[in-house]
Amino acid sequence: MQFQKISEGDKVDLDFFIDPGQRVYVRRIEIKEM
């Protein structure tokens, strides 16, 4: 399984999960400033 972490801007992180079945999962994480 391959793991790639791409950051766009300062508040958005995009995580791409690649499955052996050639399926791509995209998880968007929003970081809140305290």
pTM of the model: 0.25
Please choose, from the candidates 24, 33, 23, 22, the residue with its C-alpha nearest in 3D space to the C-alpha of residue 14: 24
Look at 25 and 12; give whichever has higher pLDDT. Answer: 25
- pLDDT tens figures, 8-22: 555 555 566 767 777
Helix, strand counts (H, E) of the chain: 0, 3
Domain boundaries, the chain: 1-34
Q: So what's the pLDDT on residue 21?
A: 78
